[in-house]
């Protein structure tokens, strides 16, 4: 009888488990995708609004995913720069750490170029998309957005 009760409890525990793990987190930076013209820069607060994503409680490595649709793909980079806050108040950019640069002629699926890069987020409390630069020759890009995941 004790074995039967134990089996029933274990069965209920497995049935009650969520389909996806509760530690998985993903946040998209822009509610509405942006566009950037060839040779120009779009900036948070002026050309788009990227609210800060609170990652203070997560404190582990994660990944940034960027995507865009190039109008005329070329071997010229589009750069996504992210600002981070270690104290929850002041934001700063560090191009050597939180930046993704990729040629607009990179492999695409249905016209969308998408790439994911791992990053260390140790000590970071808030992160936001700060600017996107389409270097001269990169062409116009639409559907510009980014996400963070853990």
pLDDT digits 0-9 by tens, 10-44:
565 555 544 444 557 899 999 999 999 999 999 99
pLDDT of residue 111: 96
Give helix then strand counts, H and E, for the chain.
1, 12
Could you tell me which residues come within 8 angstroms of residue 126 by beta carbon, excluding any fewer than 6 positions away? 52, 53, 54, 55, 56, 84, 85, 88, 91
Residue 60's pLDDT band (boundaries 50, 70, 90)? confident
- Fold designation for 23-149: Jelly Rolls (2.60.120)
Indicate left, alpha or beta for 61 from its phi (over 0: left) and psi (-120 to 50: alpha).
beta
Residue 71, class by beta-carbon neighbours within 10 Å (0-12 exposed, 13-18 middle, 19+ buried)?
Answer: middle
Residue boundaries of the structural domains of the chain:
23-149
């Amino acid at each position: 009888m004790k074995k039967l009760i134990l089996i029933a409890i274990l069965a209920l525990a497995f049935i009650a488990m969520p389909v996806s793990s509760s530690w998985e987190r993903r946040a998209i930076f822009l509610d509405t995708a942006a566009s950037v013209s060839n040779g120009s820069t779009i900036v948070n607060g002026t050309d788009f609004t990227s609210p800060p994503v609170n990652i203070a409680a997560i404190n582990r490595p994660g990944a940034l995913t960027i995507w865009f649709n190039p109008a005329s793909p070329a071997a010229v980079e589009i750069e996504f720069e992210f600002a981070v806050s270690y104290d929850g108040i002041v934001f700063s950019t560090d191009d050597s750490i939180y930046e993704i640069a990729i040629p607009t002629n990179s492999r695409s699926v249905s016209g969308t170029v998408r790439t994911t890069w791992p990053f260390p987020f140790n000590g970071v409390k808030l992160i936001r998309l700060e600017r996107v630069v389409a270097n001269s020759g990169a062409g116009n890009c639409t559907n510009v957005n980014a996400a963070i995941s853990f």
